[in-house]
Amino acid sequence: MAKIFSYNIARFFVLVALQVFLFKNMGYYNLATPFPYVLFVLLLPVGIPNFILYCLAFLTGIIVDGFYDTLGVNAAACTALAWGRILFIRVTLQSDQHENYMTPLVGTVPFRWYFLYVFVLTLFHHSVLFMLETFTFHQFQYTFTRILLSCIFTVVIILLFSLLFYRKKQR
């Protein structure tokens, strides 16, 4: 239990620091900008109480917002992400797994589930994020392209991260 706790705290600091100091400066012509900090919210234990999940997600978003000068945008997207995560886990996992405190990382869960989990939720997060950022339905095609390309970029980075910390014997 203490291990899960410290892992998550360490992950939080590392991911947020990487996001605001490294990934903020990366991008492909303003079309694809990666937001791999969402991995922190994705990897919180499965059985975490909803309220705590929302608080942590909101907090992460607000801190990233502070560095991006877009107060509220990332926080809103992270809140949406937390909701999507709850729904996704409720639909795809058996109910006996809802209560335990495993970290949904490859190695613990099958790769196909993990990939779907990351892709769907990242897409959801990015949709909310970019829609709030542009705040208009003008040039929707452009926004849509940005969402899709950024999502692919983020997912690739997240998968690379996951492979770095991949440990086979964890079940």
The verdict on 47 binding another protein (CB under 8 A) reads no
Assign 3-state DSSP to the chain and report helix, strand, coil percentages, each to 5. 70, 0, 30
Three-state SS sequence of 86-108: HHHHHHHCCHHHCCCCCCCCECC
Minimum distance from CB of 167 to another protein (Å)?
A: 30
Contact flag: residue 18 with another protein (CB under 8 A): no
Q: Which of residues 6, 10, 17, 72 is near another protein by CB under 8 A?
A: 72
| Spatial CA neighbour of 48 closest among 103, 11, 109 | 103
Choosing from 73, 106, 155, 158, the residue that interacts with another protein (CB under 8 A) is 73
Binding of residue 97 to another protein (CB under 8 A): no
- Kindly state whether residue 120 participates in binding another protein, applying the rule CB under 8 A: no
Nearer to another protein, 73 or 155 (CB): 73
Determine if 71 is a binding residue for another protein (CB under 8 A): yes
Distance CA 6, CA 12 (A): 10
Near another protein by CB under 8 A, which window of 7-15, 28-36, 55-63, 153-161?
55-63
**Count of residues in contact with another protein, rule CB under 8 A:** 21
Q: Encoding tokens for residue 23? A: 């990934």
x-marked contacts with another protein along 131-150 as a string, rule CB under 8 A = -x--xx--------------
Contacts for 41 with CB less than 8 Å, ≥ 6 apart:
53, 56, 57, 60, 78, 81, 82, 85
CA distances from 38 to 56, 67, 116, 132 (A): 11, 15, 15, 17
Residues at the site binding another protein, with contacts judged by CB under 8 A: 50-51, 54, 57-58, 61, 70-73, 75-76, 79-80, 82-83, 86-87, 132, 135-136
